[in-house]
Structures are given as C-alpha cells and as structure tokens.
Structure 1
Amino acid sequence: MKTCAAWIVLLMYLLCSCKNINIEDNYKSQYLTLEFKCSKVNNKTVEEVDSKAPYFPYGFKTAIYIFNSQTFWPHIAGSPIVATSYGGSDLIPDKEILLPKGVYDIYCVSENSPAISFLNIYHGIASGLVNGKDYLWAKREGVLLLKNEQVNLLFKHIASRLLVTVSTEESNSSILVNSFRITLPEAAANTLNLGDGTISPSAYTEQLSTIEGYGNTREILLLPCLAKLNFEFDAQVLTEGSSPVIRTFFGEINQQLIAGNSYELSIKIKSDLAIKIEVRGYPTNIVDNHIIFKSINN
C-alpha cells in the first residue's frame, strides 16, 4: 500500500513538472529577445570629436526606450535599458530583453561616452538635460517584431558644439589664454522631444562658467540657445619689442545655436588689443547603428 502511494505521489510530481516546463516553454515561445549591433560612420571631420573608431569605443553606453507603437507610456520590456559597447560592433544590454510579437517604437539616447543618465520622460517629452553632453538620438518607429529582424538606426547629434580659437592678427605677436568663461544656456528650459529628436532652445542663460582646457582653444558642448552668450577670458599678449600685456577680454556671441550643429568661434586680438569675432556653423554628421531582433524560437 505504501509503495502504491509513493508511486502515485511520484507520478503526480512528474506530471506537475512537465506541466511547469510546458508553461515556461509556451511562455518563452510567445516572446522575442533583442540583440544589438552597431557601426559608426565617420565620413566627416566633425566625427573626429566622437571617435576615430568605426564603432562606438569600448565602454560607451546608450539608453534604449521601448514603447508600444504610437504610445509613449508605459515603458515596456523593462526599459530604459542600458546597452554597452565593448569595442566591436555589438551593443550588449545589461539584461535580457523579452518582447511579445507586436509593433514597437524604439528610441535611443546616448551621451556618446561611458556615462549614462536616464531622462525624465512624460508623454514623449524628456527633461533633465544638461550642458556638457554630446547627446546622440535615434529612433525606429513601427517595428513589426515577428521573427529575426534587422533594424537600422541613424544616430544624430542633437546638442550643439562650440569650438573656440583665440589668436592674434599680427604675425609679430602671440597670445596665451589662461582662463575662459562663458554664459551657458539655462538647462532647465531645454526639453527633448523623443519622437523627433529635437531639443527646444533655451531663451535664457546661466551665470558665467569656466571652461576647462589648455592653450588657446576650448571645446564646449552645450544645449541649443536663442539668447546671446557672453564670454570673457584672461590672457597674456606678447609682442616683439614690448612688455607682455596681461588683461581680461570681453565679448558676446549674438547668434542662435541650433540643435545638432557645430560652431567655430574665432577670436582675433588686434594690435590695439580690440577683439574681432567670427562665428561659423556646420551641420554635424550622422552615426549609423544597427539593431538586430532575434527570436529565441529559431
């Protein structure tokens, strides 16, 4: 009798185990997982600011936001998800991504660096942007995920970049910049439209900020701005046959800084120590990335 009861218990256990395995298999069979692959196009000189490598450099990260198509709430698949480059073409998520078959909109935001910060997104509008970041953005909408799919994403720069160069007009003189300060856009006024990748420009500026660097050039990553930017810098001017002159120079940039553009600010010191300012703008390049959607059923 005891032997019979033991066999009944064992049989029931095996049936339950098989049922659990079948449930798990059926659950996973309804879901797809994602693999990420990327490549970077550096066919323009501005791309040298990002990296000379064809892929994202080792350790660079991107945040991935996934939504049901034509919605911005809620995030699904546990997004935002961090994916990291390890020096090759792969972007490796920090956790497995499982999605049921369906149609999705995918958005990516990167600081183009090893750092990652999650933006505050409310109905497709993101806040929490800061100056000093080279934001990259990409989207792919209406992704039909039924089997293995390859989705191409074009990452583009959505912040602004300002490259400052200070020099003298006269060949018999030179200058050494000791400190450079500028009024940056008021970041609290900038928001990102996740749907089209545009950052709204700020109409206000903050107090003067010191820009770190050496020599007579400075690179500034900043948010788009409508207001004029004031700058000042301490420098030593050396002229043949004259004593060195140490003074603070003042100027302003009376030009809108458009999202995604790179600007060159050329400051020339004349013989009478007046300054001549020239600003030129260039559209930045596009960064090409690929995401591969892989079914765990295949």
Structure 2
Amino acid sequence: MKKFLSLLLTGIIFPLSCNKSGDNTHQVHHLKFITYNTPATKGQSAFTTGNRSSILVFESESLCQYFGGTPVFATGGSEGELVPQNSISLVKGSYDIYSLSLNNSQNPSLVFENGLCRELENGIDYLWAAQKNVMVNTDKVIVFNYKRLACLVTFKVKADTSIKNLVIRDMKLSAPKTDSIFLDLSQGKISSSTTCGSLISIGGSGNERSAIIVPKEGSTYLEVELDATINGLVVTEKKYSTVLDIEFISGNLYEIELEIDSSKIAALTTTVSEWRLKNNLVIYAR
C-alpha cells in the first residue's frame, strides 16, 4: 500500500514538474487600442469621439479564422483611445490586426470572404488601418494609423467674362458602379470600377461641390445646371455637360477647376494628392 501511494504521488508530481516556471503558453494577454501617437494640434482632428470602427484579428499571414472574439465593434474615446465593446484577449502568438471605419457613428458591418468585401457604396468615407505580424507575449497597445480608401472629388467652377451673376443650381456626376469591385482587407485598397451608373447630385454650395466615390477607371460624365446672365441675356436652368478623362485611384483627393463660357464647360486643371492623414491624424473633408 505504501509503495502504491508512493507511485501515485510520484505520478501526480511528475507532470507538474514538467511545467517550467514562467511558461505562459496559454496565458491570455489583453489588447488596448489608440488611433494616433501624438496629441492633436490646432486645425487637426483625431478619430472623432463617438465614431465607430470594427477590429478584426487573424493569425499572421492568414485570413481564414478570426481570433480574440473578433470582429468586435469599437468606439472612439477621449485622447485617441479606441474602446472595444468587448475586451480582446489573445494567447501568445503572431497576429495581423485590422480596423475599419465608415468615419461616422455607424457600425461598419462589412462582411469579408477570403479577405474581400464586395458590398461597397459611393458616398462612404472608408477608413482602414492594420498592424501586421504583431508578436503578442504580453499585454499590448495597438496603434491604428488610418488611411482613406475611397476618393474625394472636389469641383470649383469659375466663369469667363461672357458670364455674369453665375448661380450653380445643381451638379451631377455619373457614379461608378460598385457591383464588380471589392475592398482587399490585407492590402487596404478598393479595386477600380470600370463602368458608370446613374447620375448623382454632388453636395456643396455656391461654386464649390464635392463627392466621395469609389475608385474608377475610364471616362466620367459631369453635368452642371445653372442660372446666369450670358452675353447680356438672362438664362435659367441652363445645363452644361462634359466628360472627365480622369482615373480616380483609391485614397486620392482630386481638386478639379472648371471654367464655363457661353457655349461649354471644361476642366482647366486637376490637382491630385493623397486624401490624407497628417501626423497619424485623420484630416476630414473640407
């Protein structure tokens, strides 16, 4: 009996002695999220308090299975903190961590299949951020530096000397079709549409208008309706149209200056730049 008890105790003690002191293979580590590295300065805005985003976690180099109970929605808080609705905890490992936002207070309910989302719309300011190959072996702070994925197109209209009292009543653009495009989660990019759909009104006032569209290849139709005095004659609801041969690329800002004369409207200049982040802060549309 004493011999059996001795063996039993040895059997219990032996497997416990195989666990090395400090082995945290199955220990859970907690993640905290912020949206910039430095304090906001005058004229800049951090990810807006109250705006929503989603957080998605995968094993590094894989988009097959979610980890840490994600996807999880999160809310922009004070001092750049991004607060998940549920805490995200991970065991030791290497992970790719993504975040998406519609840059508003709505939950970004984007559905991905094999890393691609095909349910996209014009008029949405898609934001994307990622931290890849994050080695989690302790509690971590994850910094998301968002970038924009759609395109912002702005128009400024001026008239030549034959036109007086110009009033822009409406401006419309042929919206890119979205049925064949996708958002690539790993690359942080929206593919380009190759076809135009129906005309959409462009928001704004006075002689300046702007629209958010998905990327687009090929020509885009523009229509302007106005009231003016043209060569001394008062006209109302006069329509001008032109074709823009501009490729709209994911993440870019396009500032287009238009000139109207008595017979036509044409693009004078097009300035292309990144619709950008500055010092890790989101710069919002003017």
TM-score in terms of structure 2 length:
0.81
The match for 1:273 is 263
8 A contact 2:123–2:211 mirrored in 1: yes
Alignment of 1:95-244 (within 5 A): 95-170=86-161, 173-238=164-229, 241-244=232-235
Counting matched residue pairs gives 256
CA contact (8 A) 1:187 1:202 kept: yes
Distance in 1 (alpha carbons) for counterparts of 2:144 and 2:175: 31
1:94 maps to a residue whose letter is Q
Q: Does 1:34 align with 2:28?
A: no
**Cα 1:56–1:153 shift into 2, 3 Å:** closer
210-219 or 67-76, larger mean C-alpha shift: 210-219
Is 1:74 aligned with 2:87?
A: no
Q: Contact 2:31/2:141 (CA < 8 Å) preserved in 1?
A: no
The verdict on how the C-alpha distance between 1:171 and 1:152 changes in structure 2, with shifts beyond 3 A counting, is farther
| AA matched with 1:223 | V
Q: Hey, what's the Cα distance between the residues in 2 that align with 1:211 and 1:275?
A: 17
- Alpha-carbon contact 1:183-1:205 (below 8 Å) kept: yes
Percent identical pairs in the alignment equals 24
| Amino acid of the structure 2 residue aligned with 1:67 | F
Cα RMSD of the aligned pairs, angstroms, is: 2.7
Query: Shift of residue 204 of structure 1?
Result: 0.9
Higher relative contact order (CA 8 A, sep 6+): 1
Report the AA paired with residue 127 of structure 2: L
**Secondary structure, aligned partner of 1:95:** coil
- How far 1:142 moved relative to its partner? 0.8
> Structure 1 residues 116 and 170, CA, compared in 2 at 3 Å: closer, same or farther?
farther
The structure where helix makes up a greater share of residues is: 1
Pairing 1:249–2:272 present: no
**What per-residue deviation string (whole Å, max 9, x for no partner) do you get for residues 260-279 of structure 1?**
11001222112x23212132
Aligned-partner residue type, residue 275 of structure 1 = I
Q: Distance in 1 between matches of 2:239 and 2:39?
A: 38
Structure 2's unaligned 5+ residue stretches are: 1-23, 282-286
Distance 1:154 1:102, change over 3 A: same
Quote the offset at 1:85 in angstroms: 1.0
In the alignment, the residues of structure 2 paired with residue 165 and residue 87 of structure 1 have an alpha-carbon distance, to the nearest angstrom, of 36
Instruction: Please state how far the C-alpha of 1:123 moved relative to its aligned partner.
Output: 1.4
The separation in 2 between residues aligned to 1:240 and 1:202, in whole angstroms, is: 40
Q: After the TM superposition, which of the residue ranges 63-72 and 34-43 deviates more from structure 2?
A: 34-43
CA distance in 1, matches of 2:186, 2:35: 21
CA distance in structure 1 between the partners assigned to 2:43 and 2:177 by the alignment: 32
